[in-house]
Structure 1
Amino acid sequence: MRRQFLLLGLASCSLAALRDGRVHGNMAPSAAIPKISVHTNSPVTSRNGTLLPDYNTTYTFDQLIDHNNPSLGTFKQRFWHTYEFYEPGGPIILFTPGEVAADGFEGYLTNASIYGMISQQQNGSNIVLEHRFFGLSNPKPDLSVKSLQLLTLQQAIDDLEYFAKNVKLPMPGGDQVTPDKAPWVLVGGSYSGALTSWTMVNKPGLFWAGYASSAVVEAITDFWEYFDPIRQFMPQNCSADAQAVIAHVDKVFSGSNMTAIDEIKSLFGLSGLSHLDDVAGSLRNNFWDWQSLQPDSGPGSTFTTFCDALEVQNGVSAPPSGWGLETALKAWGNFWTSSYYSFICGDSDAESCLGTHNASESFWTDTSLNNDARSWTWFVCNEVGYLQDGAPLDHPSLVSRLIQPDYDFRQCTYWFPEQFPNGARPPNTALTNIRYRGWDVAIDRLFFANGKRDPWRDATVSSDFHFRQSTSSQPIAVSDGFHCSDLGRKNGMTDTTVAAVQTQALATMKTWLAQWTPKGSISGNPKHPFVPSQPGRSPSPSEDVGKRVNVWLREPDASG
């Protein structure tokens, strides 16, 4: 098991899959969208009583391998679909979960999600489309650097356009709902929320409206701000003690007292780590646990358990200032050695689980398919960044300042040595923001939904560092929720502020869709029909379950 590596993706938020995401290197978690559970053991019927295929029926679409060179042919891109709520004239709602295999995201077809609630209200048809190079939707037979030249934000955007213009949906009249004949709504959360914004900028007029939840629209190389909403909203005593411990670790590790250094390593059960930056970086794991929180997260959440371990002594909670360094340091170390290390590393030794300096380990260059961590890391290293490191000296920090972008850039050269033959270089986030407008996006009929407690908030249009005004054409609705809280219907049942965002979204979509009129002809391609495959039902995913990844990416050269 590994848990220290770059990751945002924007965007995983669920507990059951956390362990699978804690592998390979010391990179931050992806912003991956949370799954939504759905029962698939009963028939699905449309509004007119027609028996429909199961939600998890998988279809494939012939997608272009390279939009810059259509002569290369096509690959099979998976999608899932329902017309449970559809009536002629209703919208087509297109969603991709982004940087994760799309299996298990069938809940987004249903009214358990805000997308399904929009579809139900508007008599729409819902689609879940798997992103290229994730899951089983792969233009190439491996994830080598040569193959991954086709994994760019622009290729992903072009996929959405080509799909919308050419797919023949598996429903009555499914060949007559291209964007010139029916209103299409592009929706997404986290990275796929950003992809919604970037696509509407890059393909103006293609999608009539968009819904972007926790959308990390601004690509940021040194994204130390990831931890700032956590610092703001976590228990004050836990924050105070954590900051004190990290400041102490940095002071000791920056000195030459080997006895004191070894004591700290031993205290956390990390004596087996040979590099101090890996030891310090490992402690970020406790704060990455915040990303899995949702409005209904109870006392048993991993993050709450961590803070209780630090702040509750003999049944008494610490004051807002915390217990102080000595008590907190021992409590944090005991938490790691008693349960947390085994939780994230299992039976693996510390170097294998949390070390990042051995470039010869095979996981760095595992090019097998359906390896979401590798695909997302490619994006991180080349185009989006989101490196979750220590804060500047003039800002409070929950994370060691020994962890800076260079620590992560080095790992990119291990993952993709052929891409970085001249050594580490930062991702080209400036180009990404120029191309797709980042925080400065200005598009009609694009709804942003964000949460105050979202660790990704400062990459969204609700950032503390870049003020944006909400407008009627580009609303920004903010709840007290966490990452993508507004996507789940049940979160609105436990948090009135999330419910208010969902209510505003439904009213806004109703207004916008009433304004749609058919456009001029958009040419389709009859050679790309849907192909059903893998009928039957798979086990229902657990709600609020996602993967974590620490990865990053640089824009390939124009020639590549």
Structure 2
Amino acid sequence: MNLLITCLTIFLTMSPLTLALRFRQGLQDPPKIGVEPPKEMWYNQSLDHFKPGDSRTWLQRYWINWEHYKVGGPVLLMIGGEGEANPVWMNTGAWKDYAASVNGAMMLLEHRYYGKSHPTEDLSVKNLNWLTSQQALADIASFITSMNQEHNIKGRWIALGGSYPGSLAAWARLKYPHLIHGSVSTSGPLKAKADFYEYLEVVTDALDKTRPDCSATLNDALKKVQMMTRKRSNWGSITNMFNLCTPFNGNALVDITNLFETLIGNFEGIVQYNKDNRDFEGAKWTNITIDTLCSMMDDNELGSSLDRLKAVNDLSLKMSEEKCLDHTYKSMVSELQEVGWDSTGAAGGRQWTYQTCTEFGWYQSSDSPKLNLGKLIPVRFFEYMCTDIFGPKFDIDLINKGVEDTNTYYGGLDIEVTNTVFVHGTTDPWHRMGITETNKSGMEAILIPGTAHCANMYPPSPQDPPALVAARKRIGELISKWVSD
């Protein structure tokens, strides 16, 4: 399933299973620079914006960079998403150049329930009641109103976000146009959909564009694993082949699905973030690309397709610094059932899973009619997971209602909003849930060939393809136009 999030750190430390479920969504961290970020500050935020008389508040974290600001200038607001906000962004990224060009301030607001912005004492189901995109948008509106008063800001506000916050940026302009004058929605999925099988379609296409037989070799290996799961005599070989933490049990269907979700997820995560401009001195594993994986899947010296799949899984374990692969459904669910703020799930997994179960869906299944994978990862696997994590009320009907309500409230791909640009990369699977072309007045779409998730938000690089360079330039032109109209 899967901003402002410290994805790189979590990507390297969390279990592969949690990774597969949680972190194929989100903006990864930019390169660190020598400049100290501004200090964190706290805004006294309302718990429930839509219940008159509810006076409860909590402290929401934010940062401000006034470096480029001149009196009367605009404010560029980067919206936080499904993980801890990283203040490194306050001194880097494409938006820093935009701020300099328009004499604007830079502000970053952490999303409620993520990072250190804790509205409630824990993450129990009753306390997740106020975790919605609508409440998050109202947080933004309240924050803007307060900052205007506190700092006597007269300039216009421009919202920016990547991935889920890319969606929030567009929705914020839609719902609060009197506060937000323009929005840059990067890699933002706008259409809620439970069965997001299109994700794997894009992954397969990306593999084949890299090497013609890459996905075919992967499919062959997956079918061989599937055959092995059906005979008890092969279970020990599966355990050893994929370095499982516990013996494989072919009678546990959810564990089988979980194993396939991880094996395929090893490819999905690399495709989504392929060559996304985070390659910097001291960084780990940013050089692992689609080319890397497809070279392995095409390497006859590694052995059969099964041996090559094993090699990719070994690499993934090495990247995550895990000694073994915990493939059990019970372990994954148990982690996401934890309610304490100091739990592993509180890094974002439990909260984001809750949002997918109540608002968005976006489950990356293998149900595509275009792919020959069958029911390796059925959408019902994720739908039943909602019930197992949060309780019987969180069933398939609730997911479907949440998806329908979200599309009705925001408009899905039929959204009508002005002063908004939608930016996507063709290699990013999330572009299939976003706007990649439009002829509506006030809306613009930029589809960048060959680029990955949120690529245009990272600092420019000499290796950037011309289309990415042009996209950043066009975004800057639009921001300049919006703040000066």
Q: Could you tell me the TM-score, scaled by structure 1's length?
A: 0.75
**TM superposition shift of 1:377:** 1.2
Residues 322-341 of structure 1: CA distance to partner in whole angstroms, max 9, x if unpaired?
xxxx82122212443x5444
Which residue number in structure 1 is paired with residue 27 of structure 2?
33
**TM superposition shift of 1:128:** 0.4
Mapped partners of 2:28, 2:331: distance in 1: 32
The answer as to 2:399 corresponding to 1:430 is no
Which residue number in structure 1 is paired with residue 370 of structure 2?
395
Q: 1:24 to 1:261 in 2, by over 3 A?
A: closer
The answer as to 2:448 corresponding to 1:482 is no
Equivalent in 268, 271, 275 of residue 242 of structure 2: 268
Assess if the C-alpha contact under 8 Å between 2:74 and 2:104 holds in 1. yes
Select the structure of larger CA radius of gyration. 1
Assess if the C-alpha contact under 8 Å between 2:17 and 2:262 holds in 1. no
Assess if the C-alpha contact under 8 Å between 1:208 and 1:445 holds in 2. yes
Assess if the C-alpha contact under 8 Å between 1:243 and 1:396 holds in 2. no
Greater mean deviation of Cα atoms: 427-436 or 148-157: 427-436
**TM superposition shift of 1:286:** 1.5
Q: 1:438 to 1:20 in 2, by over 3 A?
A: farther
Assess if the C-alpha contact under 8 Å between 1:191 and 1:215 holds in 2. yes
Assess if the C-alpha contact under 8 Å between 1:250 and 1:401 holds in 2. no
**TM superposition shift of 1:472:** 6.0
Q: 1:66 to 1:30 in 2, by over 3 A?
A: farther
Assess if the C-alpha contact under 8 Å between 2:94 and 2:460 holds in 1. no
**Alignment map for 1:50-89 (pairs within 5 Å):** 55-69=37-51, 71-89=54-72
Mapped partners of 2:6, 2:335: distance in 1: 27
Equivalent in 276, 290, 303 of residue 271 of structure 2: 290
Give the AA of the match of 1:478: L
Mapped partners of 2:320, 2:332: distance in 1: 21
**TM superposition shift of 1:300:** 3.8
Greater mean deviation of Cα atoms: 192-201 or 278-287: 278-287
Equivalent in 203, 212, 216 of residue 189 of structure 2: 216
**Alignment map for 1:122-521 (pairs within 5 Å):** 122-167=102-147, 175-177=151-153, 181-234=154-207, 235=210, 236-250=212-226, 253=229, 256-259=230-233, 263-264=237-238, 266-270=240-244, 272-274=247-249, 275=252, 276-287=256-267, 288-296=269-277, 300-301=287-288, 303-314=290-301, 327-336=304-313, 338-341=314-317, 343-344=319-320, 346-348=322-324, 350=325, 353-357=326-330, 361=334, 363-368=336-341, 370-392=346-368, 394-396=369-371, 401-417=375-391, 419-420=393-394, 425-427=398-400, 428-462=402-436, 468-470=437-439, 473-480=442-449, 481-491=451-461, 494-515=464-485
Residues 408-462 of structure 1: CA distance to partner in whole angstroms, max 9, x if unpaired?
1222223212753x78853521110110112111211001111111121111112
Q: Residue 80 of structure 1: SS of its match in structure 2?
A: strand
Greater mean deviation of Cα atoms: 210-219 or 355-364: 355-364
Q: Residue 404 of structure 2: SS of its match in structure 1?
A: helix
Assess if the C-alpha contact under 8 Å between 1:101 and 1:136 holds in 2. yes
Question: Which runs of no fewer than 5 residues in structure 2 stay unpaired?
Answer: 280-284
Equivalent in 1, 10, 19 of residue 17 of structure 1: 10
Which residue number in structure 1 is paired with residue 73 of structure 2?
90
Q: Residue 443 of structure 2: SS of its match in structure 1?
A: coil
Q: Residue 49 of structure 2: SS of its match in structure 1?
A: coil
Which residue number in structure 1 is paired with residue 282 of structure 2?
none
User: Quick one: percent identity of the two aligned structures?
Assistant: 22
Give the AA of the match of 1:391: D
Determine which structure has greater relative contact order: mean sequence separation of CA pairs < 8 Å that are 6+ residues apart, divided by chain length: 1
Residues 233-276 of structure 1: CA distance to partner in whole angstroms, max 9, x if unpaired?
222222221122234444565xx544456655553334723332
Mapped partners of 1:431, 1:363: distance in 2: 25
Give the AA of the match of 2:76: I
Give the AA of the match of 2:140: L
Q: Residue 68 of structure 2: SS of its match in structure 1?
A: coil
Q: 1:71 to 1:260 in 2, by over 3 A?
A: closer
Mapped partners of 2:68, 2:286: distance in 1: 37
Q: Residue 270 of structure 2: SS of its match in structure 1?
A: helix
Mapped partners of 2:465, 2:331: distance in 1: 45
Q: 1:262 to 1:449 in 2, by over 3 A?
A: same
Question: Which runs of no fewer than 5 residues in structure 1 stay unpaired?
Answer: 1-6, 42-53, 316-325, 463-467, 516-560
Which residue number in structure 2 is paired with residue 100 of structure 1?
83
Number of residue pairs matched by the alignment: 462
Q: 1:189 to 1:469 in 2, by over 3 A?
A: same
Q: Residue 31 of structure 1: SS of its match in structure 2?
A: coil
Give the AA of the match of 1:379: Q
Mapped partners of 2:377, 2:413: distance in 1: 26
Q: 1:14 to 1:374 in 2, by over 3 A?
A: closer
Give the AA of the match of 1:34: Q
CA RMSD of aligned residues (A): 2.9
**TM superposition shift of 1:207:** 0.8
**TM superposition shift of 1:373:** 1.3
Mapped partners of 1:12, 1:92: distance in 2: 21
Q: Residue 75 of structure 1: SS of its match in structure 2?
A: strand
Mapped partners of 1:198, 1:335: distance in 2: 39
Q: Could you tell me the TM-score, scaled by structure 2's length?
A: 0.86
Residues 341-394 of structure 1: CA distance to partner in whole angstroms, max 9, x if unpaired?
45447235x4xx2211468836523332553111111111111111111032x3
Give the AA of the match of 2:445: I
**TM superposition shift of 1:187:** 1.0
Mapped partners of 2:17, 2:110: distance in 1: 23
Give 1 or 2: higher helix fraction.
Answer: 2
Residues 159-208 of structure 1: CA distance to partner in whole angstroms, max 9, x if unpaired?
01111111268xxxx5322xxx3211111110000011122222233211
Mapped partners of 1:381, 1:457: distance in 2: 21
Mapped partners of 1:334, 1:501: distance in 2: 37
Assess if the C-alpha contact under 8 Å between 2:221 and 2:305 holds in 1. yes
Assess if the C-alpha contact under 8 Å between 1:492 and 1:502 holds in 2. no
Mapped partners of 2:272, 2:9: distance in 1: 13
